[in-house]
Amino acid sequence: MAIGLRCERRGIFAVDATDPTIRFVLEVGESVAIRDGVPPAGVACLRGDAEMLIEALSLRAPMPASAPAGWTTLLNGLQVAFDAV
């Protein structure tokens, strides 16, 4: 699992994007499950403009300053996997 490479972060994470509206939840454990839906209360939720979030999640741009710490930790595995550190 590339997202978990050198990353001990597990749990539930969410994305709530606008323009266009996209909402989904990631369940990260031994594997990753993605489901559509409104983020549950209390979950580390990445919010913002869809284009900005796509750029950040694909490592082409930095994560927004408002990103929950859990998301930054989770994506460190991708940076290692793609040698983008």
51 CB-side CA count, 13 A: 1
Q: What is the mean pLDDT of the chain?
A: 81
The C-alpha angle with vertex 54 and arms to 50 and 56, in degrees rounded to 5, equals: 120
The DSSP secondary-structure symbol of 43 reads S
Domains of the chain from N-terminus onward = 2-81 (3.30.1050)
Task: Centre a 10 Å sphere on the Cβ of residue 34 and count the other Cβ atoms it contains.
Answer: 11
Residues 7-34: pLDDT tens digits? 556 889 999 999 999 999 998 888 889 9
Residues 31-69: pLDDT tens digits? 889 999 888 899 999 999 999 999 988 888 888 888 998
The DSSP secondary-structure symbol of 70 reads H
Q: What is the pLDDT, as a whole number, of residue 1? A: 40
Q: Could you tell me the two tokens for 2?
A: 């590339």
Q: What is the pLDDT, as a whole number, of residue 75? A: 79
More confident residue, 3 or 66: 66
